[in-house]
Structure 1
Amino acid sequence: MERIYSEVAEQLLLIEAEMRRLDLWAAQPPSAEALASTEPFCVDTLTLPQWLQFIFLPRMRQLIERELPLPRQCGIAPMAEEYFRGDAGGKLVERLAELDGRLQRG
């Protein structure tokens, strides 16, 4: 596996761990209808943590497992900054910014 895949996989684990630490990790998935939203980031049906857990992280893991091209632009950290606005999500925002940066470097 290329180095980028292992580095991104590690970042995904760190993001999951931080979400769990912040008690943002849901035990039950949202409804199928909520997951089927066509809006960017499912803003009309999911919270940012739900989108990360049930859409983004699984899709990124699939790309890594299949060694498919990873996105070069994610821009999730600014979304997270807005979502948390000074709340306790600082470390999670940091982790997402690190992932954004790693993907940009390719």
Structure 2
Amino acid sequence: MNTVQISTHIENLKRALQQQALWESTPPSSQALSSDQPFAYDTLEPHQWLQWVFIVRIEALILAGQPLPTGFELSPYFEEVWKDDESKAKVLAAVSAIDKAFSSC
């Protein structure tokens, strides 16, 4: 798997979140982060999950030289939760690009 390509997509996602003022400087509580629900939908907003769970975990795997996950898609969830919010288009595009990058590996 091309970790340079994945890292580039992660940086693009960070930038999209920042441009939409969805990037947070304070993490959610440890209780909120410990949700066992998919995308922690019961304790986190979708953008929080991207920032504090997905991005953190992928970057940690890359830094540790560990294998990256395969066989997943993020887009269906985010397209559904943000279907009525056109302001999230750049974030959705970044998520879609990540899906494509992981599916081509």
- Structures share fold, TM-score greater than 0.5: yes
Aligned to 1:65: 63
The size of the alignment, in residue pairs, is 104
Uncovered stretches (5+) of structure 1, i.e. residues with no partner: none
Q: How does 1:17-36 map to 2 (within 5 A)?
A: 17-36=15-34
Aligned to 1:103: 102
| 1: CA distance, partners of 2:49 / 2:32 | 10
Q: How does 1:21-100 map to 2 (within 5 A)?
A: 21-87=19-85, 88-100=87-99
Structure 1: 4+ residue segments shifted above 2 A: none
Identity %: 29
Uncovered stretches (5+) of structure 2, i.e. residues with no partner: none
- Residues 11 and 99 of structure 1 are in contact (CA less than 8 Å); yes or no, is this contact kept in structure 2? yes
Root mean square deviation of aligned Cα: 1.1
- If the length of structure 1 is used for normalisation, what is the TM-score? 0.92
The residue identity in structure 2 corresponding to 1:22 is: Q
Q: CA deviation at 1:86?
A: 3.6
- If the length of structure 2 is used for normalisation, what is the TM-score? 0.93
Aligned partner of residue 89 in structure 1, secondary structure:
helix
- Residues 76 and 97 of structure 1 are in contact (CA less than 8 Å); yes or no, is this contact kept in structure 2? yes
